[in-house]
Chain A
Amino acid sequence: MFASAPFLKVLFSMMLIGVLVAPVAARAAESNRFVSHEDTVSIVSKSDKVSGTMFRLGLLFRLSKGWHIYWKDAGDAGSPPQLSLTQPAHVTTGAFDWPAPDWLVTNGLGDYVVSGTALLPFTVFLPQAASAGGVNLNGLARWLVCSSVICVPQQARFRLRLSEGAASPSAEAGLFASAHDAKPKSSPFASTVTANGVLTVTGKGLDRSDLRTAHFFPNRPDAIVNAAPQRLDFQPAGFSLALKPLKWSPPDPLRGVLEITDAAGKGEALAIAPKLAAAGPAVSASTSAVVGTRCAAGRPAAQSDAVRVPRARHQGAERGAAGR
């Protein structure tokens, strides 16, 4: 009938922890939520209070299974989300930070999309330091959310009030940390691209035993044929990706994001800007080629002619932390 002593000890410890933790638990800093069948969207703050003229917010998408939004370069179709803060007066914002996208080929079109839970952080600049009354933010966001069958335009007005004071991490701060981890890093590798679309990346740790997949996401939709597979060839000092150029030469430099996955399945997103170089030597017959390995999984059942490339590397970091 009576609880055992060890059980009571554990129970007491848990209660004590609860009492100790409760007063210091981070406070939520989230706007009203837009809720639909397709997604739940809101604006969240990295800190629970603001001081000075600059702070970080994020547009948070919790997309239902099978739905996606579009990356900053949407590819052949789609459009990235847009946010305009209208209050306080003269407020301005920086650009979104983006994770590397997924590559979605459907109906002959190549798109760059984001799915799951995705935070798009951005910096807010106030015209003057936040007053003692705090900051009342008001903004309008527009975005397109698509499945494999239909696309829905959505928009919502978000309101978020933040108190003035010494900032401490909000309950949503972990999302910002995950988004920072998912943001493409400056590449330590050398890269060039030829006029016929051969992207060469060289450096340590890029040989066949280290690398499993690679894919390049251009920053602009007219840089390459977005629906074309990218053939991966290993070379002594690194690897090359055979991009399919348009009839004109690629932009110089060809800015974008290179996503590589190692043998263990761990991925990394790198911001690269390969300069145009003269066509290199033909790929030797001894090098191994991989085509479409990034297209092997994740085909939606209702999308027989579509290939979705999972961005497995980022799922753990970004989606795991954000999965609430």
Chain B
Amino acid sequence: MDRRIPHQSGLRLVQRVMARHLLAGLTVVSLMTGTAFAAPRPVVVALFTSQGCSDCPPADALLRHVKATDPDILALDLHVTYWDNSAWKDPFSLPAATDLQDHYASLRGSKEVYTPEAVVDGKAQFVGSDKATMAAAISRARAAIAGSDTTQVSVKALNGQVSVHVGPGTGIAAVWLFGFDPERTTKVRGGENGGATLPEVNVVRSITRLGAWDGQPWEREMRAPAGTKYAALVQRSDGTIVGAAEN
């Protein structure tokens, strides 16, 4: 036994070294051919924002940058309602977005919300314009995804219908559908006819709770809610995302 342990360890070391070389080789090939090996799932970056928030444009720009430079990001630009008043309303504000932010606040034991707030992969919560924290949070989320089981999720939209499929897994979670517009450029309140404009990406237009998932393969088809693209999240009540995909 004593002599076999070093032998086994040596084999494992060789296997690990070979695996690393293989991975490195594949990476080189992928770079050369322009193809990428898909990550188990994208990192979900949610931004709570409002067109009525003067501190939000830098966060909107950061979300736009993250989405443009990282193909494995699922960006969700969520407009909250507490900036709306009787005289003005953010055209993209959704009560469900405010509810979702309240839920995230409760996860950190608080009732206080703010804009711009980013939530990376359902866990890290921070000021949405903070570039360094955003980069670190995405890296941590990516490492966590690589080290955990991921439930396969797919979402398809066809002929006015959206279908979501969730593969097998463990535990229970909720399945959410987000309808969004990949690009929206809007005029700010005072400038509908000559003022500043706000370009935003993945502006969420609808949020639908499709139901509960208990680890068994799950499928749902529904009439397409607002939005030109769709993302499905499978998320536990503590914020943990076990699966995510967009069409």
Contacts and interface: CB of A to CB of B under 8 A. Distances in A.
B9 interface: no
A222 B88 CA distance: 11
Given A79-B88, A226-B190, A111 B112 contact: no
A78 B116 contact: no
Given A76-B54, A79-B83, A106-B54, A152 B114 contact: yes
Q: Which of A76, A111, A148, A245 has the most CB of B within 10 A?
A: A76
A151 B113 CA distance: 9
B190 A110 contact: yes
Interface stretch (B12-20, B193-201, B237-245): B193-201
A152 B190 contact: no
A242 to B, nearest CB: 15
Nearest to A224: B190
B189 A222 contact: yes
Interface in B92-138: 112-117, 127, 129
Nearest to B197: A108
A21 B88 CA distance: 51
Q: What secondary structure prevails in chain A residues at the interface with B?
A: loop
Given A149-B55, A150-B116, A227-B196, A76 B191 contact: yes
Contact of B190 (A75, A79, A104, A146): A75
B212 interface: no
Contact of A225 (B54, B82, B190): B190
Interface string A242-261: 00011110000000000000
Interface in A127-169: 144, 146-153
Contacts of B82: 144, 153
Interface residues of B, number: 30
B83 A106 contact: no
Contacts, number: 102
Interface string A205-247: 0000000000000000111111100000000000000000111
Contact of B85 (A79, A151, A223): A79
A87 interface: no
Given A76-B195, A77-B189, A150-B116, A109 B54 contact: yes
Contact of B196 (A82, A109, A153, A224): A109
Given A77-B189, A246-B193, A108 B57 contact: yes
B71 interface: no
Interface in A83-119: 104, 106-111
B188 A222 contact: no
B211 interface: no
A111 B189 CA distance: 11
Contacts of A104: 54
9 contacts: A79-B52, A104-B54, A107-B55, A109-B54, A110-B190, A146-B54, A150-B55, A227-B196, A246-B195
